[in-house]
A and B are shown apart, each in its own frame.
Chain A
C-alpha cells in the first residue's frame, strides 16, 4: 500500500472517529440526564406518597379526637345538662338559686355547642354519611352560628357523589379558605357555590371583603413557613385539583377550586 493511500484512509478514519466521539458524547449526556430525570420523578413520587401518608394519619387522628369529644365528653355534658334540669324543682326559691342554675344550664348548652363545633371542624361526620355538598352546607350553617360573617351555600347541578379522599381534601381546602377570609379579608358575606359536571367539580368561594386575601396569599408564597397556602396546594396536588384566585367585582376575592375526574372509579364505572 502506498503512503498516499494510507493518508487517505487514515484521514477518513480520523474523520469517522471524530464524528463517533461527538455522537457518543451527545448520547452519553442524554442518557445521564434521562436517568437523573427518572430518579427525580421517583423522588417526587416518594415525597407525594409520604405527604399522603402524613395527611391520612392526620385525618385519622382528627377523626379519633372528634369521635372521643362527641361520644364521650358530649354525652357526659348532656347528662350534666339533664341532671341540672332535674335539680330545678328541688331548689328553694328566694335566694336566686334558680337563676344561677338556669345560667349554669345555659353555660352548659354553650359548651355543648362549642364542643359540637370543634368536633365537626375536626372531622365532618356529614362528609362520610351525606357527601361533600351536604358537609359543606353543614359547615356553612355551623359557621353562621358562631361567627359574624354570613356564609351562604349554593348548589348548582345535580351534586354527583365525590370520591371520599377527594371530598375530604376539598372540604379541608374550603375550610382553610374560610379561615383565611375570617382572618384577613374583613368580609361580611361569603358565598360558596358548588357545581358539578360529569368530569369536573368546581367550587367558588367569593367574599365581599377588602381583597386582602390576594396580597396575603402573595406574601404567603414568599414566606418559607406559611402553612395555610402550602396545605391548600399540597391537598389539591394530591387529588389533582387546582385553585385560582381572582379579584371580585366590585370588591373582595373569588377563589375557584377545580377538581377533574372527582368521582371514584367505582362510581365512574
Chain B
C-alpha cells in the first residue's frame, strides 16, 4: 500500500504552496500513512514487535485528522469538542497501552475509539455540507468540493477499519493459540488494504477538485 500513498503524495507535494488548510492536513495525513507503513516494517525488523508503533501512529493520525475536521466544521460546540478530544483520546491510548492490552499487542480499544470518533466527525461533516445554505443557494454540488472527497476517503476507511481494529487484538490471541486459520486473517487484511487504496484514490480525487475550483475562478 506504500506505493499508492507515495503516488498520491507526489501531486500534493508538487502543489504544496497552493494547498488550502484542509488539503495540507491531508498532505500530512498521507505522509503519516507512509511513515506508518514504512516505519512499522522497519520496527518489526529491528525490534521484532511493532505494535507499540501502531498505537503511536494511530494517535498521530487522529491528531492530524482532528485538525482537518477542526478547520472544516463550523459549529462552535463541535469545534470545541474536536479541539479537546485528542486529550481524551490520548488518555485512552495511554491507559490501553500501559494497563489494558499492553505495548506488545494490538491496542484494539484505543484504535477502535479513534475510528469511532472519526466516523462521528465524518458523519457530522456530511450533515453540515447537506445543510449548508451557501452551497445550495450558489448551486455548488458537494462532489465538486475537495473536502467532500477527503471526508469520503477518511469515512470509508474508518468504516472498514473500525470492526477490524476492535477485533484485531482478539484475532492475535486466536492466532497465537492456533485456533484460527491464517487465511481468514489475510482476507480481513486484504479488505483493509483494498479499502486503504480506495481511500487514497478518493483523496487524490479531492486534490484534483482543487485544480478545477481554481480553474473555475471560485
With contact pairs A8-B191, A11-B164 given, residues A29 and B156 touching in the complex (Cβ less than 8 Å): no
A26 touches B156 (CB 8 A): no
8 pairs of A and B residues whose beta carbons are closest in the complex: A18-B159, A18-B156, A14-B159, A4-B184, A10-B163, A25-B126, A15-B160, A11-B163
In the complex, the answer to whether B171 meets A7 with C-beta atoms within 8 Å is: yes
Nearest-CB distance from A208 to chain B (Å)? 39
Given contacts A7-B171, A17-B159, contact A29 B139 (CB under 8 A): no
Any B CB within 8 A of the CB of A33: yes
Residue A216 is within 8 A (CB to CB) of chain B in the complex: no
B164 x A7 contact (CB < 8 A): yes
Known: A3-B167, A12-B191. A29 touches B160 (CB 8 A): no
- With beta carbons under 8 angstroms apart, the residue of B152, B160, B163 that contacts A22 is B152
B142 an interface residue at 8 Å Cβ cutoff?
yes
B180 interfacial by beta-carbon distance below 8 Å: yes
Residues of chain B within 8 A of A51, CB atoms compared: none
Q: Which residues of A contact B191 (CB under 8 A)?
A: 8, 11-12, 15
Known contacts A11-B160, A18-B160, A25-B130, A4 near B180 by CB under 8 Å? yes
Whether the Cβ atoms of B162 and A29 lie closer than 8 Å is no
Contact A8 B136 (CB under 8 A): no
Using CB atoms, name the residue of chain A closest to B168: A7
25 contacting pairs across A/B (C-beta < 8 A): A4-B181, A4-B184, A7-B167, A8-B188, A11-B164, A11-B188, A11-B191, A15-B156, A15-B159, A18-B155, A18-B158, A21-B123, A21-B126, A21-B155, A22-B152, A25-B126, A25-B129, A26-B142, A28-B130, A32-B130, A32-B136, A33-B135, A33-B141, A36-B136, A36-B137
Task: State whether A26 touches B143 (Cβ < 8 A).
Answer: yes
Instruction: Please name all residues of chain A whose beta carbon is closer than 8 Å to the beta carbon of B148 when the two chains form the complex.
Output: 26
CB neighbours of A2 from chain B (8 A): 180
Instruction: Compute how far the CA of A12 lies from the CA of B142 in the bound complex, rounded to whole angstroms.
Output: 26
Q: Which residue of B lies closest to A22 (CB)?
A: B152
CB nearest neighbor in A for B181: A4
Residues of chain B having any CB pair with chain A under 8 Å = 123, 126, 129-130, 135-137, 139-143, 148, 152, 155-156, 158-160, 162-164, 167, 170-171, 174, 180-181, 184-185, 187-188, 191-192, 195
Give me the interface of A with B, judged by CB distance under 8 Å.
2-5, 7-8, 10-12, 14-15, 17-19, 21-22, 25-26, 28-30, 32-33, 36-37
What CA separation (Å) do A21 and B97 show in the bound complex? 33
Chain A residues, Cβ within 8 Å of B180: 2, 4
Give the Cβ gap from A16 to chain B, nearest Cβ, in Å: 9
Return chain B residues, CB-CB under 8 Å to A37.
139
Q: How far is the CA of A14 from the CA of B160 in the complex (A)?
A: 6
Task: For the complex, give the distance between the alpha carbons of A25 and B135 in Å.
Answer: 13
Asked if residues B152 and A7 are in contact (CB atoms below 8 Å), the reply is no
**Nearest-Cβ distance from residue B134 to partner chain A, whole angstroms:** 12
> A19–B153 Cα gap in the complex (Å)?
10
Docked-complex contact B130 and A14, CB < 8 angstroms: no
Most buried by B among A11, A12, A17, A33: A11
Q: Is the Cβ of A30 less than 8 Å from the Cβ of B141?
A: yes
Nearest-neighbour CB distance to chain A for B147, whole angstroms, equals 12
Chain B residue at minimum C-beta to C-beta distance from A11: B163
A116 CB to closest chain B CB (Å) equals 52
Beyond A22-B126, A30-B141, 5 extra complex contacts between A and B, CB < 8 Å: A14-B163, A25-B129, A26-B143, A28-B130, A33-B139
Complex CA gap A18/B137 in Å reads 27
Across the interface, name the chain A residue whose C-beta is closest to B158. Answer: A18
Query: What residue in chain A is nearest B170 (Cβ atoms)?
Result: A3
Nearest chain A CB to B157's CB is how many angstroms away?
8
Rounded to whole angstroms, the CA-CA distance of A36 and B159 in the bound complex is 32
Give the docked Cα–Cα distance between A116 and B125 (Å). 70
Residues in A neighbouring B130, C-beta threshold 8 A: 25, 28-29, 32
Q: What is the minimal beta-carbon distance from A264 to any residue of chain B, in angstroms?
A: 36
* Contact indicator B162/A14 (Cβ below 8 Å): yes
User: Which residues on the A side are within 8 Å of B142 (C-beta)?
Assistant: 25-26, 29
Contacts of A11 in B (CB 8 A): 160, 163-164, 188, 191-192
CB distance from A31 to the nearest CB of B (A): 10
Chain A residues with CB under 8 Å of B187's CB are 8
What separation, in Å, do the CA atoms of A7 and B172 have in the docked complex? Answer: 13
Interface contact B184-A5, CB-CB below 8 Å: yes
Residues of A within 8 A of B174 (CB): 3-4
